[in-house]
Structure 1
Amino acid sequence: MTEHRRTDTRHAEAPAGQAREHSLRIERLNFAYGDTPILRGIDLHVREGEFLALLGPSGSGKSTLLRLIAGLESPTAGRLDASGRPVSGPGTDRAVVFQHYALFPWMTVVDNVAEAVAKAHPRLPRSERRARALKQLERVGLGEVGGNHPFELSGGMQQRAAIARALALESPFLLMDEPFGALDPINRAKLQDLLIEVWQGSTPRRTVVFVTHDVDEALLLADRIAVMGATPGRIIAEHSVPFARPRQRAALFKDAGFHRLREEIAEALDADTLAHLEAA
């Protein structure tokens, strides 16, 4: 198992007049519900433009960590900065895509996305907001269904709409909580490919934090994987993903290096599970 090496987390503010780096820095972060510890001692640096996967079993706190980054929860202790500023609550700089699509059911798909455009550009006239929303829907292959309501779309199409809405915020950070977990394998693969296509085609690239419990998904999508163990949640290993982009699924799954890394990650997770069972 690869030993987890803590990242240098010294903090530096951007000089006056210099653009802020859209990175995340997490230092000695703890989180608890009452007396129940959920996360302990999280140290993590996510570089600007990096695609990081948070990988772990249920109960490892990976979704809770994402909610903390999104500002939907507050740490019990430690430091959490986005773009050099402490995270003190939700913000349009951090777009979130949940597993369950969270679209407004009373709005058409284009109006759902236009709401996000309005948050990013509140002074735009309604016609321009809708035009920009339609462009985002076209990016995810939904240009023909903007006038439909979410309940008229399949699950895969609803998640495409949720991704379009997140992109419409023009946020430097994209936070995704098992966004494809509820989909069938074919739609899941299609949306994985779509996500990478959109992310690689964006300038500048967004900083992505992607929660998953699927090792293959993490290896296919991410630049780096933070493996989380359970009870309380903590990072037990970090792995750089060495495979060149663009990645072809069929070729990747035949690669001996892919199988070695997948086995190494699986062994780390199994060892953590066994340690907890023996301690119980």
Structure 2
Amino acid sequence: MTRPQSFPSPAAMESPNDTFLAIEHIHKQYPKADGSQFVVLEDINLTIGAQEYVSVIGHSGCGKSTLLRIVAGLEKPSAGHVTLEGKLIRRPGADRMMVFQGYALLPWLTVRDNIRLAVDEVHKHLSKGDRRHLVNEHIHMVNLTAAADKYPHELSGGMKQRVGVARALATRPKMLLLDEPFGALDALTRPKLQTQVLDIWENHRQAVMMITHDIDEALFMSDKIVMLTNGPQATIGQVLTVDLPRPRHIHELRETQKYYDLRNEALDFLERYQ
């Protein structure tokens, strides 16, 4: 079988003026009982392209998820701002959809109805027939057609996470936000779902910001890895460009020296902040 042609990553093709999301001088702090401030994030600056897959890694407590929630509009920064296509992010919006580690499915709704609820809310301008087609298209996209009428308690962890991905993608957001989406999955299910999400992204390119603790996962999926220093007062310590061709095949990547050079560079950074 002939393998698909490899292409350079979007990050390699974009110019500095292709900024889609801009995180500028973000500072986040919380008040303490003694009247002082606990600083979580300090002077975070980052840009993400319209088709760029970016992972954020760092040790526990460094504010990775806090940064993602600020981009999602679920938290407000103490200082600084985030813009999407030049527009200031002030609140959650359908242009940014989030997939949580804990699935966040409504247990009394079937797979189909969990996805339909989001589609009905975001795509009110579409006819019922078009919305139904959109739901079915995304159920098929994540290979859940046979489970469309099952309830969350009847699904495995991997299937639940696929529902979450399908629900997010069905709203046709400009940006996908992933908060450790594979963290709760077992060692066999995790790489399968990583590959499936990456395949979907290859065919429906959009900006992605993913939080992960897994260096191999970040290298496999990302165009760029943003590495945060330890908290409190975490900031960006290094940005690693993953200049590996796409589409990617994990077993082939692990046979290349470039993969291990990048992996060692990321490990060295994390070990400095251990």
Give TM-score scaled by structure 1 length: 0.87
The verdict on how the C-alpha distance between 1:22 and 1:186 changes in structure 2, with shifts beyond 3 A counting, is farther
CA deviations on 1:185-208 (whole Å, 9 max, x unpaired) are 111101110111100101xx1100
Quick one: distance in 1 between partners of 2:79 and 2:179? Answer: 23
Extract unaligned runs of 5+ from structure 1. 1-11, 13-20, 274-280
Number of aligned pairs? 253
Shift of 1:255: 1.3
Quick one: distance in 2 between partners of 1:91 and 1:268? Answer: 34
Quick one: distance in 2 between partners of 1:125 and 1:48? Answer: 28
> For residue 211 of structure 2, what is the amino acid of its counterpart?
V
4+ long deviations beyond 6 Å: none
Q: Identity of counterpart residues, as a percentage? A: 40
CA deviations on 1:35-83 (whole Å, 9 max, x unpaired) are 1111111000011110001111111111110000000000000121112
Shift of 1:132: 1.6
RMSD: 1.5
Quick one: distance in 1 between partners of 2:147 and 2:182? Answer: 20
Shift of 1:260: 1.3
Matching residue of 1:124: 126
* Alignment map for 1:174-193 (pairs within 5 Å): 174-193=176-195
1:239 matches 2:240: yes
> For residue 104 of structure 2, what is the amino acid of its counterpart?
A
Quick one: distance in 1 between partners of 2:244 and 2:178? Answer: 22
Contact 2:19 2:48 in 1 (8 A): no
Contact 1:135 1:143 in 2 (8 A): no
Quick one: distance in 1 between partners of 2:48 and 2:129? Answer: 37
* Alignment map for 1:189-228 (pairs within 5 Å): 189-202=191-204, 205-228=205-228
Matching residue of 1:5: none
User: Which residue of the other structure, out of 18, 21, 26, is the alignment partner of 1:24?
Assistant: 21
> For residue 112 of structure 1, what is the amino acid of its counterpart?
N
Quick one: distance in 2 between partners of 1:146 and 1:128? Answer: 18
Quick one: distance in 1 between partners of 2:263 and 2:125? Answer: 48
Matching residue of 1:147: 149
Contact 1:22 1:172 in 2 (8 A): no
Shift of 1:119: 2.4
Matching residue of 1:104: 106
Contact 2:23 2:46 in 1 (8 A): yes
Quick one: distance in 2 between partners of 1:136 and 1:154? Answer: 18
Matching residue of 1:43: 45
Give TM-score scaled by structure 2 length: 0.89
Extract unaligned runs of 5+ from structure 2. 1-16, 32-36
User: Which residue of the other structure, out of 55, 61, 64, is the alignment partner of 1:62?
Assistant: 64
| SS, match of residue 259 in structure 1 | helix
> For residue 266 of structure 1, what is the amino acid of its counterpart?
L
Shift of 1:124: 3.1
| SS, match of residue 131 in structure 2 | helix
CA deviations on 1:64-117 (whole Å, 9 max, x unpaired) are 100000000000001211121111010000010000100111111101111121
